[in-house]
Amino acid sequence: MLDYTKDELLSLIERTPEQFNEWKKDKEDIDLSEVDFSNIVLKDVDFSGVDLNSSSFADSDLSLVNFADTDLTSVDFTRASVVECDFTDALLTGADCSYAQMTYCTFTGADMAGCILAETDLSNSDLSASENLSSARYDNDTQWPDSDMLPEDFDSACADDLSALKDEEEAPIMSDGEY
């Protein structure tokens, strides 16, 4: 089988994803870390088990992409449309999903610690068996799926994390005689 550079693999994935999926079957330890997939349309790509650490899918359209058991540490999904993708057992630590539409996705066993979900649309996604969702960063504009699709102990109303802490307002210092 052929060996490809990262740039050649990016071109292969973009033009003929079925050829990439076939090539990938015989490979272990595929490293696509730090690859820029921004502004790309991907459908039916099998990234399962691939190292995508620090890659970017910003402003991309992804559908039916398999991210199962994939290292997505610090991956940029900002403003991406991610529909019907599988994140089973994926590592999403520090991934930035701000302003993304991540609907009808599966997050079973996905580690969400430090994942940024600010203004993310997670409608109809299954997060019920995700891990560390309480350690993700989200805000009041994050759109959650129905409660049966969230972990039992998760409270989406608790949106303020440590980065949202503010100093208490100090009372103004008054001169003698002022109240």
Nearest of 142, 145, 100, 141 to residue 126 by alpha carbon:
145
Report whether pLDDT(4) > 90.
Answer: no
Instruction: Give the CATH number for residue 110.
Output: 2.160.20.80
> Full-prediction pTM beyond 0.95?
no
In a domain, 166, yes or no: no
How much is the pLDDT for 170? 53
In a domain, 63, yes or no: yes
Report whether pLDDT(45) > 60.
Answer: yes
In a domain, 140, yes or no: yes
Number of domains in the chain: 1
Q: What average pLDDT score do residues 153-165 get?
A: 61
pLDDT band at 162 (very low <50, low <70, confident <90, very high): very low
Give the DSSP letter string of 85-130: -B-TT-B-TT-B-TT-EEES-B-TT-B-TT-B-TT-B-TT-B-TT-
| Helix (H) or strand (E) run with residue 82 in it | strand 81-83
User: Which range marks the domain in which residue 27 is found?
Assistant: 1-151
pLDDT band at 61 (very low <50, low <70, confident <90, very high): very high
In a domain, 15, yes or no: yes
